[in-house]
Amino acid sequence: MLRPETIMIQENLAGYCRTGKEDDIPGLTPGRLPHYKRLVNNVVFGTIGQAFPIARKVLNDNEWTYLLHNFFVEHDAQTPILWKLPYEFFRYVEDQDYASELKKPWLNDLLWFEWLEIEVYMMPDHVHGKYSEKGDPITDPVVVNMDSKLIRLQYPVHLYPVKEVESKAGDYYLFVYREMESGTVRFLNLSPLYVRLLDLLMQDESKAASTHIPRLSSEYKLADEEALERQINNFIKQMLKSGLVLGFRK
């Protein structure tokens, strides 16, 4: 266990690296402090920049540096794991409402979108159990890829350049999932109907799509259930090819 004086020295050194304000730190060679600050800044700023390459590109240098500096000085990191630090940066920017201050209403969605690629890539493997590649998309229960996140965005940052998204505010649903074999993270834009279907299928894997058709027909006021069944059948077949649906529960 560290001695109290050792903890104090570590905290003072960390404080200097974050703020540039010098405290008395015993044992340090004079003139070396700026090198520690430079090294720590390079690691932290580099990690965040690599996590958000699109945001780094669309924000000008002054805006990006302003966000990084304020985050590093004001935010007390809660994680000791470096790859998780960009999530805290995203939440800090969101909580402090820099999107309004910088007049970039799409900023929170963009940071979230970019962070999700890291989160889904790094999440532990879900145990999907046994399933078959052969089955009926309507009458057999399907196995949805649970190495995934289903989210709603206000701005379609996954579809258009940021200069175009401000005028396209609305409800956009995005399924972010990791391919089983390659580990590649994929993004799929979905309509509200298919989002609801996937939500129902993921809630209870023992139920086939056929059991949800009457409910979907009622919720979305679709009178022709046979047409809806054909639509769902085609959707599940496409999702099998893409890896969002893994197979059929047997």
| pLDDT given for residue 41 in this prediction | 82
| pLDDT given for residue 12 in this prediction | 61
CATH number at residue 116: 1.10.150.690
Q: Are 19 and 75 in contact (CB under 8 A)?
A: no
Q: Which residues contact 165 (CB under 8 A, 6 or more apart)?
A: 106, 155, 156, 157, 159
| pLDDT given for residue 40 in this prediction | 77
Q: Considering its fold, how many domains does the chain have in total? A: 2
Positions of the chain with pLDDT lower than 70, given as ranges = 1-2, 5-17, 19-31, 35
Distance of CA 156 to the CA centre of its chain: 14
| pLDDT given for residue 217 in this prediction | 97
Range of the domain at 164: 125-250
Q: What is the pTM of this model?
A: 0.89
Residues 100 and 163 in one domain: no
Residues 211 and 166 in one domain: yes
Dihedral sign, Cα of residue 44, residue 48, residue 49, residue 51: positive
- Of the residues 100, 122, 144, the one at which a domain ends: 122
